[in-house]
Homo-oligomer: A and B are copies of this chain.
Amino acid sequence: MADLSENRRKVLSVADCPSRLLLDQIADKWSVLVIAALHDEPLRFNEIRRRLEGVTQKALTQCLRKLERNGIVGRKVIPVSPISVEYSITPLGRTLQEPFKVLYRWTVDYLPAVEQARQDFDERNGA
């Protein structure tokens, strides 16, 4: 507290925020679901697609590319005809289990509190 007196305000920049690394990769609409889908077994492109309700081919492709680039999922092309591509979780990807579990746990534990807060807020304001 003594350290930060005066105008020694520390500046927080998005670029330096370490949590960005993780959030940027998993916080999009589909990544968590893709990772969950691959948890038990490798799957082919269209199989993943069928399991994720509502994902478009474009969105899924982009998502898988990003996860692949970051070493979270692996991609194996099997050159048969018609072509087959198998996606799987990498060991690095599996290390996400811990953060995911904690995330999940928080959600379950505090969903009621958050919903209550939203309701209160909307009543205080809206209408």
Please state if A11 and B103 are interface contacts (CB–CB under 8 Å): no
Interface size class for chain A? 35 or more
Main secondary structure of the interface of A (DSSP, over half): helix
A77 contacts partner chain B, Cβ-Cβ < 8 Å:
no
A53 contacts which chain B residues (CB < 8 A)?
11-14
A30 to chain B, nearest CB (A): 7
Choice from B96, B106, B117, B120 contacting A95 with Cβ under 8 Å: B106
Residues of A within 8 A of B (CB): 1, 9-14, 17-19, 21-23, 25-27, 29-30, 32-33, 36-37, 40, 47, 50-54, 68-71, 92, 95-96, 98-100, 102-104, 106-111, 113-114, 116-118, 120-122
